[in-house]
Structure 1
Amino acid sequence: MTTDRALPAEEVRAEVEAGQRRLRALLPALTDAQVREPSALPGWSRAHVLSHIEGIGLAMARQARYALRGELIEPYDGGRPARAAGIEAGAVRDAAALGHAVRAALTEASAAWAAVGPADWSRPVHYRDGDLRTALLCWWRELAIHTADARIGHGPRDWPRELCRHLLDHLAPRAPKDLHLVLEATDGSLTRHYGSGAAQTVTVRGPLTDLTAWMAGRAPHQPLDCRRSGAKAPLPELLDWP
């Protein structure tokens, strides 16, 4: 199913740094009224999304810090309930306090990941019982997707192609099990096949960023073309996030 090379960890770290710089540049313009406005995520304001970016950035940086000591630790003290409570508590801050907190988290993330050397990427972490590269990939996904969710000027259509390729691989478990789902990018040669070729084929075509947005549960910039047995059809329902 996967046809693209796995991006080396050092290149992922460079992409993460670029994403952090983009977010930093977008934060100063936010007003108190704007952080209260809805995000792209149902029930969450921009402040909720930014508070989550702060939290996940610190959580993955913590995975890196402890891994370099040869220790394992939960991403969040108190697990998912503490994570949810932290997002709600952080979302009540005004734009200045929120921006300061997010910038501080980005600074810590940069420092933590900069400390990881070429021989360290296979060090184990608690997150998904993976390694440091796994944790870095998580931060890359979370940073890019939630920056888009915040609706502050950088959306899915701006996602780098390497990120799109990674997301299409990571999100493969979302493909329906009873279909042979084929994604065809109309702005390049990328094609993804999910499921068994013996199942009914559903082909979805569109720009790479729009295909990726759909697989990530986000709205494509323009409608995708979906065909089932050659006839136009509604997009299939995707499964839960992996």
Structure 2
Amino acid sequence: MTQKEEPYFVDLESNPERAFQLCADGQARLLRRVAQLSDKDVRAPSLLAGWTVGHVLTHLARNADAHARRLSGALRGHDAPKYANGQEQRRREIDNGAGRQAEEIIADLRSSMSNLEEVFAQCAAAGWPNGHFLGGGDYGVVACPAHRLREVEMHHVDLGLGYTSLDWPDEYVAWDLPLLLASAADRLGTSREQRLFMAWLAGRGPLDVETKLTPW
């Protein structure tokens, strides 16, 4: 029996070229899955509470625009935020776009994804300039491809259209699982939940089915 090979770990936040490739692949998979959705389909509930499929797809389009905004700013030497008016702009854009016809939502998503990939390519050709710019956030602009990859992979699952966590690419899991584990302490509620979760991580007990992490 041959020994199982562990996936090669790449820190995708510091390797935007590889993150770009994985992100482009993920966007293509998502677009193929949603290409033929009907108006009824986009109005159906997603796996995210309070959001329809249309909400998730609109969020993915606007998130692509937000990353493109940061990266385009960095190319010009401008430290641009993802959303000029913060979370209120994000919420408003999603709510305003979620009720559109399926054809319009999908065309918008395709256009936004294509534009983002063009900006990725421009940044790659320029050597990812000003990668340290934060844009008021908590990661440098050089990490945008990795964080966009997370959005695409997570929300592809959230659509509830047959793509699951078991479909996530190995390289994505190898990068993001440790980051999400590191965030667990801040996303656990009570002292009891923290202790039971910690015991489970240490192999000292089962995972309590009542343990809840606040959403990422």
TM-score range, shorter chain: 0.7 to 0.9
Q: Which residue of 2 aligns with 1:26?
A: 33
CA offset digits 1:126-146 (Å, max 9, x no partner): 052532222222111111111
Cα pair distance change 1:20/1:5, threshold 3 Å: closer
- Which structure is higher in helix share? 2
Q: Which residue of 2 aligns with 1:98?
A: 105
1:120 aligns with 2:121: no
Task: Flag structure 1 segments of 5+ consecutive residues without an equivalent.
Answer: 182-199, 205-226
- Which structure is higher in strand share? 1
Which has the bigger relative contact order, CA under 8 A and spacing at least 6? 2
Q: 2:184 aligns with which of 169, 174, 184?
A: 174
Cα distance in 1 between the residues matched to 2:39 and 2:207:
43
Could you tell me which amino acid in structure 2 is paired with residue 84 of structure 1? R
CA contact (8 A) 1:68 1:123 kept: no
Q: 1:202 aligns with which of 188, 191, 200?
A: 200
SS at match of 1:201: helix
1:111 aligns with 2:107: no
1:234 aligns with 2:204: no
1:57 aligns with 2:64: yes
TM-score normalised by length of structure 2: 0.81
Cα distance in 1 between the residues matched to 2:138 and 2:208:
37
TM-score normalised by length of structure 1: 0.73
1:79 aligns with 2:86: yes
CA contact (8 A) 1:65 1:112 kept: yes
CA offset digits 1:194-218 (Å, max 9, x no partner): xxxxxx63149xxxxxxxxxxxxxx
Cα distance in 2 between the residues matched to 1:38 and 1:74:
30
- Identity %, equivalent residues: 26
Could you tell me which amino acid in structure 1 is paired with residue 151 of structure 2? E
CA contact (8 A) 2:38 2:102 kept: yes
CA contact (8 A) 1:67 1:125 kept: no
1:165 aligns with 2:174: yes
Cα pair distance change 1:234/1:109, threshold 3 Å: same
Could you tell me which amino acid in structure 2 is paired with residue 116 of structure 1? C
CA contact (8 A) 1:63 1:73 kept: yes
Task: Flag structure 2 segments of 5+ consecutive residues without an equivalent.
Answer: 1-7
RMSD across aligned positions (CA): 2.5
Could you tell me which amino acid in structure 1 is paired with residue 157 of structure 2? A
How many pairs are equivalent? Answer: 198
Cα distance in 2 between the residues matched to 1:49 and 1:108:
19
CA offset digits 1:48-80 (Å, max 9, x no partner): 000100110110111110011110122112110
Q: Which residue of 2 aligns with 1:150?
A: 159
Could you tell me which amino acid in structure 2 is paired with residue 6 of structure 1? D
Cα distance in 2 between the residues matched to 1:133 and 1:236:
38
